[in-house]
Amino acid sequence: MSEQPGVLGRIRRLLARRVPERLDITRSDLAVVVESFDDSEACSTALDRGAQDAPHWAESDDAVLRHHLELPAEAVEEALALAGQDGYVAAAPPSPVSSERPSEDGVTRVSLILQRVQLLDAMHCAQEKSRMASLAQRLGGDARGWDALQPE
């Protein structure tokens, strides 16, 4: 089969050449390169720290952005459905929240980590952090923080 001639063929060849392969979230060499579990810390501050400390965050490379949520167990399905619309998946099955902090309202709470691959910068990180805080609050839970992984 010959290559497609004309402008459309050139555009397709250019796009095929420029689209890098996305980071595989199942890679065994992924390491946490930046994290923030302080609501008052700006994403830009956390990312600056991640660029300084080893392993270093590489701004130009894809990262696995993970959000750590604490939700009522009955809200997990809805959280997965809503976050799934933006490409998030569960990093692992939800796990029970530590019994050291008993629920005051009698609701069983679980920890859920939602993750997706993206280029990470301060603006998009802040948007996603806010989106996850809103999602968690709407479902009766909390966003505990976020971290990002890249290959070592």
Give me the CATH number covering residue 56: 3.30.70.970
Whether residue 101 lies inside any domain: the answer is yes
pLDDT at 22: 84
Q: Residue 105 above 80 pLDDT?
A: no
Tokens of 74: 């009955």
Distance CA 106, CA 148 (A): 32
Dump pLDDT digits (tens) for 32-73: 999 999 999 999 999 999 999 889 999 999 999 999 999 999
Q: How many domains does the chain have?
A: 1
What is the helix, strand, coil percentage profile of the chain, to 5? 35, 30, 40
Whether residue 81 lies inside any domain: the answer is yes
Confidence of residue 13 (pLDDT cuts 50, 70, 90): confident
Distance CA 85, CA 89 (A): 10
Q: Residue 2 above 70 pLDDT?
A: no
Distance CA 53, CA 34 (A): 9
What Cα–Cα distance (Å) separates residue 9 from each residue in 6, 13, 20, 70, 135?
5, 6, 19, 49, 43
Whether residue 18 lies inside any domain: the answer is no
Whether residue 124 lies inside any domain: the answer is yes
Phi and psi for 112 in degrees, rounded to 5?
-130, 130
Whether residue 16 lies inside any domain: the answer is no
pLDDT at 12: 74
Q: Around 80, how many Cα atoms within 13 Å sit in the side-chain half-sphere?
A: 15
Q: Tell me the residue range of the domain where 109 lies.
A: 24-151
Query: Which residues are 148's β-sheet partners?
Result: 34, 65
Whether residue 3 lies inside any domain: the answer is no
Q: What is the pTM of this model?
A: 0.82
Name which residue leads in pLDDT, 97 or 81. 81
Smallest Cα–Cα separation from 62: which of 14, 116, 18? 116
Whether residue 65 lies inside any domain: the answer is yes
Whether residue 10 lies inside any domain: the answer is no
